[in-house]
Amino acid sequence: MPLTLTETPYLFFTGKGGVGKTSLACATAIGLADAGKRVLLVSTDPASNLDEMLGVELAREPRAVPGVPGLVALNIHPEAAAEAYRERVIAPLRGHAPEAEVKKIREELSGACTTEIAAFDEFAGLLETTWRQQFDHVVFDTAPTGHTLRLLSLPRAWTDFLDSNTRGASCLGPHSGLTMQRDRFAAALAALANPRLTTVVLVTRPERAALQEAERTAGELRAMGLVHQRLVINGVFRPRASSDPIALALQEREQTALARMPPALRSLPTDEVPLRAFNMLGLDPLRALLDDSRQPPPGAGLTQIPPLPTASLSGLIDELAAPGHGFILVMGKGGVGKTTLACAIAAELATRGHPVHLSTTDPAAHVASTLEGSLPNLQVSRIDPRAETQAYIEKTLRRREAELDEEGRALLLEDLASPCTEEVAVFHAFSHLVSEARTAFVVLDTAPTGHTLLLLDATGAYHRQLTRTLPPEHLKLITPLMRMRDPAYTRVLLVALPETTPVSEAAHLQEDLRRAGIEPWAWIINNSLLATGSQDALLRERMRAEAGQVARVVRDHARRVALVPWMAREPTGLERLHALVTHEARGDAQHPRAGASEREDDPPLDRS
């Protein structure tokens, strides 16, 4: 892709998880800096891996990137932003207010709503004129689509709330120390919507689901006024005169998806970036991503498939099915195939006669279109934030109607109009799903990592609040967090692709879960070329790198690892989902015989 993104100071990279936003944002920022521009690279992704890619530890303040004169980078880390805000509010109280009161205020400021708003406050600051005076370009690497759209909707939501709030509803109390004002909301959105200031770079892959998501994102951003858009199709496979059936199938699948590209995307200026044989880790690969002249010489490739101590997905489901019920959380970075695997697991459990509830918290998930059908024993739902918020408001009004006069009802309605209500409503819906797993299987397809961690923060805050405020006789109550910490009740499946960055991000998620007292049960390595037996030179080069990543997972991170093959036909519909589980995708992919499901140094698995 030629570096044509030079006409606006702000470059806003967005798209579905796993499409390569971070790689392209980094490569573009490096290219601009190499051309003599002053560039600030910013990540708004709570699960950012800019540090690993660039080889420098980043923080909330800009830091120079070694080896790239003119380039500085920073992470807007939501938790760090929220902690800085909490400290601004609490610091003046220390030594002047009772310790109990200080603790209470800190607890009030522990919710995901505070985290979101504090993060947006930092994001909005980067769109101010002072930054444009320091840099020629500010390049934003955003979180996956759903999280980013939520971030961009906050200014309007909070402005509407402030406009309608005339009675001092309690929600404003914890946020009174924020520097955000209505004029700052307006200025941030105005900068993003100004085609002379901002180019929105929609990143996608040559895949049906990614292109559909890009179309949806383009429409929602246009509705917010962000109309200056450009499309980048990343990872387009261009085989060198190959007769390899896997290479030909991959090319055909991509070309079919591109031929059916939604019309709204066809009208956008478009660039294609070829599929590269190397991982995007370090400055040399990032420079080579957009520059054909920098391609490294071909490596040795993969001479033979090494023995991999991994299980089949079917083998994992055998163990999942044994208790007859349970809460199965499918988690990971966006774009790794969580929705497909959640659908496959739920359908297989239902086929085996178990009652199953398949749900999703991902705004960008397409559960129904992935299943393409229905099964006995299988219930499908979605935690829709808008619907859950409306239901929560109506339920709250009904519950308190008898005790409220007209003035009290008006005050409650103002409080419930706060965007914070959505956080509470989604958490309540999530809690119901956790409880439902006492008598059935609940398979939850979660949103990409950062969005999910905010939900887990709310779960932890609720648990702490109950254990702190309930009288001793009520402490036998089991909170959702307690159920999620119970390995006999909850099984967390971490999904990753066999590439450096997805594995690293899954490992970081595992660390976050462990800090919350939740131990992941298994890893699933999805879309593995190793399991296809391809002989194409470029694909064999990628398979060589894959083998190293699978070995890394088995060695460093997981007791149970399942390897799921790439399939020539997209795994949608009940028949193909079943083939994905059983590895019976004949004509789609070859695969090595699965090995043991445990490492030799681990104790035997409890199969009861």
Tell me the pairing of strands 378-380 and 270-274. Answer: unpaired
313-383+440-582 and 10-292 share a CATH fold: yes
Contact 552, 503 (CB under 8 A): yes
User: Residues 44, 110, 421, 501: which is the catalytic one?
Assistant: 501
- φ/ψ of 167, rounded to 5, equals -115, 10
User: Residues 15, 45, 418, 534: which is the catalytic one?
Assistant: 45
User: Cα separation of 319 and 547, whole Å?
Assistant: 25
pLDDT, position 98: 81
pLDDT, position 326: 96
- Is 501 considered catalytic here? yes
User: Cα separation of 499 and 547, whole Å?
Assistant: 9
φ/ψ bin of 494: left (φ > 0), alpha (ψ from -120 to 50), beta (otherwise)? beta
User: Residues 14, 16, 17, 20: which is the catalytic one?
Assistant: 20
User: Residues 14, 16, 17, 21: which is the catalytic one?
Assistant: 21
Task: Tell me the average confidence (pLDDT) per consecutive run of 10 residues in the chain, 608 residues long.
Answer: 68 85 93 94 79 87 94 84 76 79 70 67 79 89 65 61 52 47 74 91 91 89 89 90 87 94 92 89 91 76 67 92 95 85 96 95 75 92 84 83 79 68 76 91 76 52 49 57 87 92 86 86 93 85 89 92 88 90 52 34 29
Q: For the chain, report the end-to-end CA distance as a whole number of angstroms.
A: 54
Residue 336: strand pairing partners: none
115 is written with which tokens? 């985290």
- Is 326 considered catalytic here? no
For residue 593, give the nearest of 583, 605, 602 by alpha carbon. 583
- Is 15 considered catalytic here? no
- Is 146 considered catalytic here? no
C-alpha angle 281/4/136, rounded to 5°? 80
The CATH H-level (homologous superfamily) assignment of domain 313-383+440-582 is P-loop containing nucleotide triphosphate hydrolases (3.40.50.300)
235 is written with which tokens? 């990872």
pLDDT, position 608: 27
User: Cα separation of 154 and 118, whole Å?
Assistant: 11
From the number of C-beta atoms within 10 Å of its C-beta (0-12, 13-18, 19+), residue 278 rates as middle
Tell me the pairing of strands 63-64 and 71-75. Answer: antiparallel
- Is 18 considered catalytic here? yes
Which DSSP letter does residue 311 get? B
- Is 45 considered catalytic here? yes
**C-alpha distances in angstroms, 123 versus 54, 62, 136, 142?**
21, 13, 18, 11
User: Cα separation of 354 and 50, whole Å?
Assistant: 43
User: Residues 15, 17, 18, 460: which is the catalytic one?
Assistant: 18
pLDDT, position 345: 97
**Cβ neighbours around 195 below 10 Å, total:** 13
pLDDT, position 531: 75
- φ/ψ of 317, rounded to 5, equals -65, -35
User: Cα separation of 111 and 217, whole Å?
Assistant: 27
Residue 358: strand pairing partners: 380, 443
Contact 75, 47 (CB under 8 A): no
Residues in the chain: 608
Domain boundaries, the chain: 10-292, 313-383+440-582
User: Cα separation of 135 and 128, whole Å?
Assistant: 12
Please, which residues have CB within 8 angstroms of residue 198's CB and are 6 or more apart in sequence? Answer: 8, 9, 10, 11, 12, 191, 192, 226, 228
For residue 558, give the nearest of 608, 513, 519, 604 by alpha carbon. 519
Contact 13, 25 (CB under 8 A): yes
- Is 22 considered catalytic here? yes
For residue 74, give the nearest of 133, 14, 144, 125 by alpha carbon. 125
User: Cα separation of 299 and 540, whole Å?
Assistant: 10
pTM exceeds 0.85: no
Q: Is 176 helix (H, G, I), strand (E, B) or coil?
A: coil
- φ/ψ of 165, rounded to 5, equals -90, 105
- φ/ψ of 241, rounded to 5, equals 10, 75
**CATH, range 10-292:** 3.40.50.300
User: Residues 23, 28, 110, 204: which is the catalytic one?
Assistant: 23
